[in-house]
Amino acid sequence: MAPSASHRPPAPRLWRDVKQSIEAMIATALRKKVDRLPNERTLAEQLGVHRHTVRRAMAELESEGLVCVEHGRGTFIQSEMVRYRLGRRTRFTENLAGIGLEPQSELLHHDLGPADASVAAALGLRRDSDVVRLVTLRGAKRLPLTYAIHFLPASRFEDAAAIFERTRSMSAVLLAGGVTDYRRSQIRVASRLPTEQEAQALKQQIGQPVLVISSVSRDMDGEAVLYTTSHVSAIRMELVVDL
């Protein structure tokens, strides 16, 4: 005989319901100034669902920038947008350190090859001149903030990848090429949806926007030394423009 409605096991809760429950937990935790959630097993027991359901909900919350899941350490709540000052002399490391954040940088890829027309024009080089390309991921609070592609003249910065790998600093890369100070001569900002690769690197949904910042930096003699296109997570960072 089929069980009556009152004795049937409850239908599995959808991950969206679990996500809403965890969002309520996050709000409570923030009011109590708690920055960590219970582990996956504990949450599953508290909510009466399978761990896979909690895992799916957590993945969505992480993509929205609300939490950061660190395997072996726990799930941390991300409470505020990062306010990033953008100006002619902006330095990533100094900028974040100035607001009490520890910057994190990673070199994802590097190569050497001929500049295309747009890169050559930005750096004032002949087309097909060799340039070093660095692809970096930089962030804070255990979350990626920018996915950037940097181009430097190879004739002056052939060791750029090794120096960045060692120092995690673009200023150190430029200093090794004799650039003691530099300023941005041009900054362009646009918004769009990320590519699949950009969204994956930034740990966000492909439907969530990024800010695309293109800039040319020049040494104090006016020579272009760096052309960068940064893809900034608009769900985690807001720009403050210094005039």
- Residue 212 predicted with pLDDT over 70: yes
For the chain, helix (H) and strand (E) counts, in that order, are: 9, 11
Task: Judge if 71 and 133 occupy the same domain.
Answer: no
Amino acid letter, residue 87: G
Does one domain contain both 17 and 135?
no
Number of domains within the chain:
2
Residues 202 and 220 in one domain: yes
CA dist 152 → 121, 135, 161, 179, 222 (Å): 12, 12, 10, 12, 15
Domain final position from 18, 53, 77: 77
pLDDT of residue 11: 44
Q: What is the mean pLDDT of the chain?
A: 88
* Structural domain ending residue among the three candidates 77, 93, 128: 77
Statement: residue 81 has pLDDT above 80: no
Domain that holds residue 71: 5-77
pLDDT at 154: 98
pLDDT at position 13, please?
A: 55
Residue 186's nearest CA partner among 221, 228, 145 is 228
Whether the CB-CB separation of 130 and 154 falls below 8 Å is answered with yes
The Cα-based distances of 155 to 66, 77, 107, 114, 160 in angstroms read: 43, 45, 21, 12, 11
Let me know how long the chain is.
243
Contact 57, 15 (CB under 8 A): yes
CB 144 within 8 Å of CB 136: no
Chain-centre distance for alpha carbon 109: 15
Reported in sequence order, the residue ranges of 78-175 that DSSP labels E, i.e. its strands, are: 82-86, 104-114, 130-140, 143-153
* 182's tokens: 């530099």
Domain boundary among 58, 77, 96: 77
Integer Cα distance of 88 and 184 in angstroms: 5
CA torsion, points 95, 96, 99, 102, in degrees to nearest 10? -150
My answer on whether 91 and 179 are in the same domain is yes
- CATH classification at residue 114: 3.40.1410.10
Question: pLDDT per residue over 107-141, tens digit each?
Answer: 999 999 999 999 999 999 999 999 999 999 999 87
Residues 59 and 118 in one domain: no
Q: What count of other Cβ atoms lies within 10 Å of the Cβ of residue 98? A: 10
Average pLDDT estimate for 233-242: 87
Same domain flag for 32 and 119? no
This prediction has a pTM of: 0.74
- Taking alpha carbons only, the member of 86, 68, 90 closest to residue 77 is 68
Express each pLDDT in 151-179 by its tens digit: 999 999 999 999 999 999 999 999 999 99
Measured between alpha carbons, how far is residue 55 from residues 43, 74, 79, 214 in Å? 10, 12, 20, 36
Same domain, 162 and 217: yes
Residue 15, pLDDT > 70, answer yes
Q: What is the CATH number of the domain that holds 42?
A: 1.10.10.10
Asked if residue 72 and residue 163 are part of one domain, the reply reads no
Could you tell me if 111 and 46 lie in one domain?
no
Give yes or no: residues 208 and 105 share one domain.
Answer: yes
